[in-house]
Copies of this chain bind each other. A is one copy, B any other.
Amino acid sequence: MDQLKLENQICFPFYALSRLIIRAYQPHLEELGLTYPQFLVMLVLWEQDHQSVNQIGEKLILNTNTITPLLKRMELMGLISRRKSKEDERKVLISLTPKGLQKKEKASCIPDALLANVADEQIDRTQFDELKSQLNFWIEALKKE
């Protein structure tokens, strides 16, 4: 029955860490006026502008029933525009507005600021990359389910 102990679950640390990381981001994102999922959408668009709802959803592993209202709020905030694709009228293309693009510079210091805060205590680069590749292995494994 030990396997039902909370501390023996591998699932819980991921659940907890996800929320703790979002909390750590919060003060930085507040300055940008973004929530964490909104920030992720911005990352995707800063990397490549003019993507369909589905393309964004696939990268963030989120369905349209989550993404659509999220994008609508971001449109209201003036960060992005939503317009139908001319080639395929089913698709809705998301583009950055000048205001949305402008935030990129302000955001660029966030990852560093966070790492400095948390991982300050000697986490060596190799170990860090090792962890990341391990996480990606799990993600790919679970995406296929």
Residues of A within 8 A of B (CB): 1, 3-6, 8-25, 36, 40, 43-44, 46-47, 59-61, 104, 107-108, 111-112, 114-115, 117-119, 121, 127-128, 131-132, 134-136, 138-139, 141-143, 145
Known A9-B43, A17-B18, A47-B4; judge A23-B145 contact (CB<8 A): yes
Show 29 A/B contacts (Cβ-Cβ < 8 Å), sorted by A.
Answer: A3-B108, A3-B111, A3-B112, A4-B104, A4-B107, A6-B40, A6-B44, A9-B43, A9-B111, A10-B115, A10-B131, A11-B114, A12-B60, A13-B135, A14-B21, A14-B135, A16-B60, A16-B61, A16-B139, A17-B139, A17-B142, A18-B19, A20-B142, A21-B142, A24-B145, A118-B142, A118-B145, A119-B141, A131-B131
B-chain residues with CB within 8 Å of residue A36 when the two chains form the complex = 15
- B17–A138 CB distance below 8 A: yes
B-chain residues with CB within 8 Å of residue A13 when the two chains form the complex = 132, 135-136, 139
**Chain A interface mostly:** helix
Tell me how many chains of this kind the complex includes.
2
- A61–B19 CB distance below 8 A: yes
> Which of B14, B22, B119 sits near A17, CB closer than 8 Å?
B14
